[in-house]
Structure 1
Amino acid sequence: MLTTSNPDNVHHVLSTNFSNYPKGPKFRRIFKILGNGLFNSDFDEWRKIRGLAQGFVNHKQFHRFMAKINHDFLENKLVPVLDNASQQNLVVDLQDVFQRLMLDATCITATSYNPNSLCFGFPEVPFLKALDDAGRTQIKVAVNKANKLHIFTEEELNKLVYLHGALYETLRLFPPAPLQVRTCIHPDTLPSGHKVNSKMKIVFSAYAMGRMTSVWGNDCLEFKPQRWITEKGGIKHVPSHKFLAFSACLGKESAITRIKSVAAVILHNYHVQVMEGQLVTPKASIVLHMKNGLRVRIKNTWP
């Protein structure tokens, strides 16, 4: 096994010599719960599925549909749950809330089925547990709105550049997929000079890469949303082989919009108090989670 955080090696494996580095059959067995879709496929099958998915996510109707889904889920699912938590003075696991929200929204988008996992009482969700079992092998925003509940439109979200920078900075330091694994088919030499063969696995550490001075500078351990903002107030482009949070993800823009919309509605409408005394530590999983969640108390900003 070769573990690397060298961006040149990542670019070589994921782009330049892509056909020599599939995910491999073991990866598919581990994540068989996700079926034979884009996440689990390789080679011609991957290209075919990606082509179909690309046409789907680039369609104007898809964007309108996603905007409606986002608004509906915020207004009819997230806000009622948070309002109830505020009224009842409950302590909730914010990580669990986000996971349930994403599960429901993703299922509706992909299958038209709503598992209704985000609701009062937070019922047990077998699918989330199955995904978790498989995985084991200062944001601030200034808004000028009336003192009332507000759900942001996509146009409004596009103006929240600092929030966008804060999102990217969070994903740089805490990538959802901290490790990515590829197998090797034919012997090869990586740009770093390391030789690999068909018996080796190549592991990319996005978590380590986000903390490398050679990639991000001497302030790489600091949380600085402004590092993503250009002098003209736009978002800086960083190649995917240096910023692996989305890699070649087709749903990147939709995901960013959804995350920003959730963050904006919480920041504008609620005070979030993180409970003292809890140990916040990573969980051993293919997806980067907090081992014990994040317990918070929610209070409405507006009476």
Structure 2
Amino acid sequence: MSVDGEAVRLRTEADEPGWEVDPDDEWGVAVIATVGRQLRLRREAVGMRVPEFGAAVGYGDDMVYKIEAGKRIPRQQYLDTADEVLGAGGLISATWEDVKKVRYPKKVRELGKLEEKAAEIGVYECNSVHGLLQTPDHARALFEAAQPPYSQDDVERMVTARLSRQSVFERDPAPSIHFVLEEAVVRRQVGGTMVWRQQLEHLLEVGRLRSVTLQVMPTNSDAHPGLDGKIELLKFPDGTAVGRSDSAFNGRPITDPKQLRILDLRYGTIRAQALPPRESLAFIEQLLGET
């Protein structure tokens, strides 16, 4: 393709990592397949061949075929441009409302839905910075360290999905969110010195939000109920709750009031033993000053 004699590069899969369809996500597969079929039928109805259509929307033939076959998730820009090229009058653009609901992996969507509804979120982390607190580069470094390794497409998709959950901080009214991080987690230089510094700066930024309480558990503290693994507690406006602990109830999400009281007691004990919020932020500031 060329414009005014200059070649225009068409987008390929390499330009959009992380937009593959998860074959284990039945709902996602169905939605993307339906949207792809609508795109193909609309293109054929106006008599456009794939090379012509691809050149018009700025995508290579292979990408067009895969999107129409339901094997690639179309970006909003793709749908909007296709709508204009095919004269669909907004019908194709409107499919983004369905696509965006399945844009991220199923497990992330389910967790994100719970976090979106929660009035209070409590987290204790002993191995890594919690996903709601991670910077993009920190999250990327964690995924890239996995063994066996993820493909780069998978890494980018998971980074995007993880960051999407952080919209919980923008809710109005905002939920009350409590974090307790082990000192070793805060000290670990994931991704190198610069990425680590950016992560510490981000912790300070989030920790100063009125809706957030951030605490650090010092390494020289006494034994506490979180030494066996992370704890998560989400409480909802209707009085219900869901919790999970690596060390209790087989690590499964629980909703039973008796079991939730046990997790609540353990989490309360952990918060009581950690540094107070003001001292925790001062500790992080001190780490930054030492680098």
TM-score by length of 2: 0.25
Structure ranking higher on relative contact order (CA contacts 8 Å, 6+ apart): 1
**Rg larger for:** 2
TM-score by length of 1: 0.24
Question: Whose helix fraction is larger, Structure 1's or Structure 2's?
Answer: 2
